[in-house]
Amino acid sequence: MERKSLLLLAIPLYMVYFGIKLLINMVPRILYVVEGDSPLEIVVSLGFMSTTIFAAVFAVFIGILWARKIILGEDTSQL
């Protein structure tokens, strides 16, 4: 692989890393919210957290697909 391709591959792999890190950090927060507080606060907090989890899963999925395209040579973007 040439240098330009390695740089292009680093971007989607960082997206995957960031998404997984975000998912790992959300688990203790979800457990903390579920343990205490009122039912309304639990629903609101979990609503916002589910949005964050959805974004993290989306980042991991898109990052993996983008890295796959780069490895197969299908990506023609200019950096």
Q: Decide if pLDDT at 75 tops 60.
A: yes
Q: What is the pLDDT of residue 21?
A: 92
Q: Which residue has the higher pLDDT, 14 or 77?
A: 14
Q: What is the pLDDT of residue 47?
A: 87
Over residues 9-31, mean pLDDT: 88
**Alpha-carbon span 29 to 12, nearest angstrom:** 26
pTM beyond 0.85: the answer is no
**Alpha-carbon span 42 to 67, nearest angstrom:** 37
**Alpha-carbon span 58 to 7, nearest angstrom:** 22
